[in-house]
Amino acid sequence: MGVVIESDIWEPNKSIYILLFIFSVVPIFCLPAKSSANVLDHASSASLLRFQRKFLLLFAISSVMEGLWAVFGEYELAYYGFSKDQLLNVISVGFAVSLFIGSFIGVLSDLLGHKKLCLLFFLLHLLVSLWKLVFGTSTFCIFLSLASSIFSFGFEAWMVVEQDKRQEVLNDMFWMMTFLESASFIGSQALANYLIDDNVIRNIKSLWIGAAVLAVLAVGLVTRGWQEAPQTSPLKDYRVSFYRHVISAKRIWLLSWAQSCIHFSVAAFWILWAPSIVADGREVSLGLIYPCLLGSKMLGSTGFPWFFHVPLVLRTEEYLMYAFSIMGFALSIVAYDYQEIGLLVTLFCLFQTCLGMVLPFLARLRTTYLPNEIRGGMMSLSLMPANAAILFLLVLRGHHYIANSTITSIAALGLFSAAGCMYSLKKWGKQLQPSRRNL
């Protein structure tokens, strides 16, 4: 009599997808009346309404393009024969580029124009796609890292500058961008699976063609009929403004540190979430868990307008303080013991839910504390400590000097320190200018 050994592959319960979809989408149709009136309001000026619709479409396309690399990047490198150590080196090079070049791109964005930088984002993706189609090589991590740096701040800065005169709609645009980014990442997973069709060797070029088509479409949207106000501030005036509002302001330092901590924790999360789940050789359907994580982030983003458009019980800094603490607590449990897959996925979903709420709140604080003319430079430079820390830890990890649990613990400590920054901001308070009291 033969013995049949069945393979037990862990998969999320299918009801989770239904619940996440319902709780992420239904709140959009039940938003408070004030929010519903501001999101793509037909009473707005025609030019502003066109910008909102066109911008959200463009941002969705850019998110799909970023997601194609995030979803299929490792498989693509494996197609080229990269080992695990080589994959780690590629990731390290990417963060090095973000550190030494990407940290200063925001300053160029403020001086030259945010639209031009967003256009560069699509041109970089187009260049990488054409390069791979023609030469079929994997020398592209530098350009994609630069594109990711632009993605992290360029589109938000552009949107804020264009809508400065309609500040009451900015907060709704913030959470809609977070929602669209997560939804587009899920869409990029579906697009990659469709183009590859379980045959990497035969259909690998289909992925590059798809990315090139999206890039060409986006370039056409940006360059046709979309004017941007010229940047007239000379470098000397920019330096004076930057010093006055950023370098000499303690509140900006606290906000920058919080942004750096969240950037570090998110980067560490996406690098380590899969290795943590499949530790000890466990078989898990990672492709089914990925939508759960992004769906949780979508759920968190839809909670933002409910906090903002109803009478606030707490200050913005207090909401962020509690959210950072919950995220740090979740990662602390993961660092201590990550043996149970169900508990791990639950903690990861909790982390992403809080993240979906944190990002719009942080964008709101940036609008409160920072003038628009230096927003891009502040955002890109604030990520420098995070990129440096990630690069340092990846180098140590490559030489087996540090464990994944230690990196997760450091990310948790960073989140707790970000909560402390929000507590200090709340304690100090801020006398808002009359023009920004309605944010």
- Regarding predicted confidence, which is higher, 393 or 193? 393
Amino acid at 209: I
pLDDT for residue 146: 92
pLDDT for residue 297: 94
Q: How far is CA 232 from the centre of its chain?
A: 30
Backbone φ and ψ for 284, nearest 5 degrees, come out as -135, 145
Q: How far apart are CA 423 and CA 342, in angstroms?
A: 33
pLDDT in tens, 425-439: 888 764 444 434 344
SS (H, E, C) 228-245: CCCCCCCHHHHHHHHHHH
Compute the mean pLDDT over every residue in the chain, rounded to the nearest whole number.
82
pLDDT for residue 218: 94
pLDDT for residue 251: 85
Q: In this structure, what token pair is assigned to residue 124?
A: 């970089």
Fold (CATH) for 47-429? Growth Hormone; Chain: A; (1.20.1250)
Q: Where are the chain's structural domains?
A: 47-429
Percent of the chain with pLDDT over 90: 36
pLDDT interval class at 71 (50, 70, 90):
confident
Q: In this structure, what token pair is assigned to residue 272?
A: 């380590």
Mean of pLDDT values over 308-332:
86
Q: In this structure, what token pair is assigned to residue 358?
A: 């944190």
pLDDT for residue 80: 73
DSSP 247: I
The upper half-sphere exposure of residue 391, i.e. CA atoms within 13 Å in the direction of its Cβ, equals 16
pLDDT in tens, 362-402: 998 998 888 888 888 889 999 999 999 999 999 888 778 88
Amino acid at 137: T
Q: 369-404 burial string, b = 16+ CB within 10 Å, else e?
A: bbebbbbbbbbbbbbbbbbbbbbebbbebeeeebeb
Mean of pLDDT values over 280-304:
87
